[in-house]
Every structure is written in structure tokens, then in C-alpha cells.
Amino acid sequence: MVTDTSFWAGKRVLLTGHTGFKGGWLALWLAQKGAIVTGVALAPGPNPNLFMLADVEHAVESHICDIREHMRLDRIVRDAKPEIVLHLAAQPLVRASYKTPIYTFDTNVMGTAHVLDALRDLPDVRVALMITTDKVYRNNEWPHPYREDDALGGHDPYSASKAACEIVISSYRDSFLKAQGVAVATARAGNVIGGGDWSLDRLIPDAVRAWSSGQTLHIRRPQSTRPWQHVLEPLFGYMSLAEALWHKPELAGAFNFGPLPHEAATVRTVIDLARKVWGGGAVEYGDGTEGPHEAGWLALDIAKARSVLGVTPRWGIEESVKRTIEWYRAIGAGENARARCLAEIAEFEAALKDTPR
């Protein structure tokens, strides 16, 4: 598939989670492409946050709404009359899910069901892309990447909630939305890094907070391996998949988005790269036993996205970490966050033209 640069111009898009890290970047990118974006999300987190720093609010029609509020959400969706739905809103953190399992299941499972239910009988909607996670797979700690047809599962509440989402999404597709002419797909992305994420218990944000204040970064599981990728990589994948579904609804199903398999890296590797760009930073490594269970090894097979969509990663792990750390450095030095994000999007789009598809 060759991406049509004018595809998004004038498209009515419902974007849930626009006040978050990935959602903020995607809102800016869609607005830049001329989409008419209606955002639905919780209020942004405490300062600093990307939504406020990058003035995301003025790129979308923003609605602060908990997706667990079924009736209010339904009214917003119906008033927006979306043609394309991109559902990113979620409780996205593994460790937080151990502390608030009911909230995690309520938001991720029932919230997703509410979004899907709001699309029933809407005349204009043609594509619904629901974002889950690479952690939907039953993790056997085996040494090969997970494919879209591997078994679903989830040890921690977050992973389990997202695996449950996949079943809910499949049910709505088969029971209602396919017959209505809506192409429904899920996107399972690897661990995302990039400027503008200040979430707790995420590797790079924790590192930036520690090193900015002269503190030591504590790493619980330095040998854990994940499919790290720059935030623009999966977002480009989402937009490419939505465009493909618009033209070929028979592609509805699950798609993995991540780095090339050999680019999966340990936590220690990512921190070593980050320290190099930062210019130092104290680190204390644990022995891998601290805290609740987390998967030790996870990688994604992205052959389907590459062959069906032509989506191939552009920025490897070194480039992704470098750009991430430099983003925080630049914003800390007073650079405009919105301008920085848009410049990075332009650089990514330039890389698309130079990379074989």
C-alpha cells in the first residue's frame, strides 16, 4: 500500500485518549494532515504533560469524558458523526493494574465495549481501529516473536484486560459492525518511547526524572527484553492500517507493530544508550526479583504489517532513544513542544520517502 498524502484531509475522526502520550502525538499528526478530529479522554495528568505543553487542545475538538460513562460517551460519538475511529484510551500501565485491577478491567474492557457500542447504527463510520498491546499474548517466554494468530493470555491485570478486549472487539465485529459495513481491526504495538511521556513506572520518563534532579535511577529488571520503538512508528502504522481498511475492509483483523525482531533490546541496553545521550546519570540495577510479576522476554513478529501494509520500521533502537532523550533536553531548555513535535513528524515523513517499502 502506498500512503495517500491527502487521504486524511476532511475526514471526521474520533480519537479516544487524545490527552495522553500517544494520543497527543497522533492528534497533532492527524490535524496536520487536515483531519477533523474529535477527542474523547480523561483530563490530562498533572504538569508536565504533552497535551498542555504542545497545545493539543487547539488541534482537536476536545471532550473530557471517562469512557466508562456509557451514555455521555454515546452522545459525544453520535454528535461527532465519525467516519474513522481510533481508540487509544486505556489504563495503560502494568504495575498500576496490580494496584487498581477493577478500574483497569472496567476502563479497558467495558470502556472499549462502550466505544464499540456507540458505533452501532451510525451511518457514516467505516473504520474502527482499536489499540490493544503486545502484551495480549499468552507469554511463554519462548525465544521467537509472537504472531497475530498466537494464543491470547495475560498474567497481570493489564495484560489480561487487553486480551479480553480482543475478544470483545471480535464479538462486536462479528455480531454487529461487519454487517453494518464497518471494518474493525486491532493494533498490537510494542513498548513505545518518545518525547512527551511523563507516566510513572515507564523506563525513559523515570530516567529523565531521576537524572534531571541528580538522583539515582533504580532499575528492577535490567535483563527484561522488549520490542522498543519510537512513538511515531506505531502511529504511522495505525494510520496506514486505517487507510488500508477504508479501501479494503476485508483486511479487518489483528496487526502487530514493532521494531524488526533483532532490534528487541534489554532494559539495560536502552538505559546504556540513554545515558550516552544524556551525558551520564547514576543507575542502580536490581536482580530481577523486585515487585510483582512482569514478563521477561517479549518480541513481535511484524511480517504481516510489512507484507500487507508495507509498514517497515524506519528508526532503530539507537535512533529512537537518541531522539527521545534529545526531545526532553530540548523542552527542558525552553524549546516549544508543539514545534518540536511537528518538526519530528516532518523528519519521520522524510524518512518514509527514503526507506524501501
134-143, 172-181, 343-352: least confidently modelled range: 134-143
pLDDT digits (tens, 9 = 90+) for 247-296: 999 999 999 999 998 899 999 999 999 999 999 999 999 887 777 767 67
DSSP structure class, residue 216: P
Q: pLDDT tens digits for 171-217?
A: 999 999 999 999 999 999 989 999 999 998 899 999 999 999 999 99
CA distance 3 to 6: 9
Task: State the Cα–Cα distance between residues 297 and 278, nearest whole angstrom.
Answer: 26
DSSP code, position 146? B
Q: Contact, 172 vs 113, CB < 8 A?
A: yes
- How far apart are alpha carbons 233 and 211 in whole angstroms? 26
Residue 333: pLDDT band (50, 70, 90) is very high
Q: What beta strand segments (E) does 151-272 contain?
A: 183-189, 192-193, 217-219, 225-226, 229-230, 254-257, 265-266
Provide the 3-class DSSP secondary structure of residue 327: helix
Domains and CATH numbers, the chain: 12-354 (3.40.50.720)
Please confirm whether the linkage preceding 48 is cis (ω < 30° from 0): yes
Dihedral of CA atoms 36, 40, 46, 52 in degrees, nearest 10, equals 10
Task: For residue range 72-126, list pLDDT tens digits in order.
Answer: 999 999 999 999 999 999 999 999 999 999 999 999 999 999 999 999 999 999 9
In tens, the pLDDT along 291-302 reads: 776 767 889 999
The reported pTM is 0.95
Q: What is the DSSP letter of 43?
A: P
Strand partners, 266: 225
What is the 8-class DSSP label of residue 252? -
Among the listed residues 5, 89, 24, 18, the one whose alpha carbon sits nearest the alpha carbon of residue 327:
24
pLDDT at 140: 87
Grid coordinates of 289: 526479583
Pair 116, 128: CB distance under 8 Å: yes
| Contact between 281 and 275 (Cβ < 8 Å) | yes
Q: Are 40 and 76 in contact (CB under 8 A)?
A: yes
* Euclidean distance between CA atoms 33 and 5, whole angstroms: 8
